[in-house]
Amino acid sequence: RVTCSNPNGTYYGICRVKEYVTVDLSTEYRGFKNLRLSAAIRNIANSKPSDDPLSTFNTAWYQPQGRRYSVGAQYSF
């Protein structure tokens, strides 16, 4: 496991992690009067982030959900 501390356990203040890139896809359809349909896929490749060397979970670097799907509909009166 990667660590950001020296052998004595003192934190250096600098950590290096691999880059984390995701690709998202979304679309929207407005072909019906007053109705809007939408769909989205987040993190299409289901990319996994690199380990956070300081803790097991860091929301500042990534979201843990992996690939996510969403659909929506909006009707206007």
Query: Using one digit for the tens of pLDDT, what is the confidence trace for 18-56?
Result: 777 889 999 999 999 999 999 999 999 988 776 666 556
> Please, which residues have CB within 8 angstroms of residue 15's CB and are 6 or more apart in sequence?
2, 4, 53, 54
- The pTM is what? 0.64
Is residue 40 a contact partner of residue 26, using CB atoms and an 8 Å limit?
Answer: yes
Distance between CA atoms of residues 22 and 45, nearest Å: 7
**Helix %, strand %, coil % of the chain (to 5):** 0, 35, 65
Is residue 36 a contact partner of residue 30, using CB atoms and an 8 Å limit?
Answer: yes
Q: How confident is the model at residue 3 (pLDDT cuts 50, 70, 90)?
A: low
